[in-house]
Chain A
């Protein structure tokens, strides 16, 4: 009886270890050979408040560093990035911005959502785009309006994590 119990325990331990290994393997993603430089959001004047623009830029940088998808993450204007051969540039163009109201959200629970939608484009410094996609971040119920930028940044990082980016040598450059 005792031997049976210990056998069951051993089997259970093995099963748990297996599940954990599979889960960690699923979470692991390949580190791309590219480095990335993030440019601020492009928007028409008055379309996006400055705090949202800065928050998107900073949150995207934070999420990309956290994702460990790229060799290195550079900020816009960083002189060190000029010398990097395998550099992708992330451009974001604002498509839609709706500023909600936190009180309205708390009172009605259905109104007052803040939405921000951007078109992200990833391309080598002088090459054709490797990826172009529309991504949206929303805060619907809890949290301040700026939380929408955090949601957007997480989506952008997820999109980049899940997108297969062709290796540096295989991309066509615009001049060719």
Chain B
């Protein structure tokens, strides 16, 4: 019985290692990828609806936006400039706006004082294969836009220095 258990261990451990090894190799061979930021696409990306939520990620090759229905990728070489900004907006959308209108004695206005949030905006200007200028705007939680911009800039300088060394 003991022999059987030891044999099972001897077989199982290499089998498990074999199972996960390709995954480990796959992870190391992938380009370095930073963690994504939850963002809303305001406008500008072709094939992506306006006000669609998704994840904005800076990758080795550029900037990627993945929404529920659509995905878009901006090549780093196509990006002309990146700007950050901040914006204050009302939360709750149209539903809360209508609800606030229904509250008597100006209660809706008081509610408006507390139903707002500050968000960061990330504006990206890029050119397509034909040289035409495009612009895309994203909003995201406060403090995230500057980080993404830094990551994009860092990637560009890395690429430029790598190009210079060659």
Contact = CB atoms under 8 A, between A and B. Distances in A.
Interface in B119-147: 121, 123, 125, 127, 130-137
A155 interface: no
Contacts of A40: 133
Given A103-B116, A106-B109, A57 B132 contact: no
Contact of A79 (B87, B89, B121, B130): B130
Contacts of B43: 55, 58-59
B90 A58 contact: no
Given A50-B85, A51-B123, A77 B137 contact: no
A107 interface: yes
A107 B133 contact: no
Contacts of B97: 106, 142
Interface in B84-124: 85, 87-90, 97, 100, 108-109, 112-113, 116, 121, 123
A55 B83 CA distance: 13
B105 to A, nearest CB: 14
A86 B44 CA distance: 27
A57 B124 CA distance: 13
Nearest to B108: A106
B138 to A, nearest CB: 9
Given A74-B132, A75-B134, A76-B132, A50 B83 contact: yes
A75 to B, nearest CB: 4
B42 interface: yes
A102 B90 contact: yes
A146 B123 CA distance: 13
Highest count of chain B CB atoms <10 Å: which of A40, A76, A107, A109: A107
Interface of A: 40, 49-51, 53-55, 57-59, 74-80, 101-103, 106-109, 142, 144-146
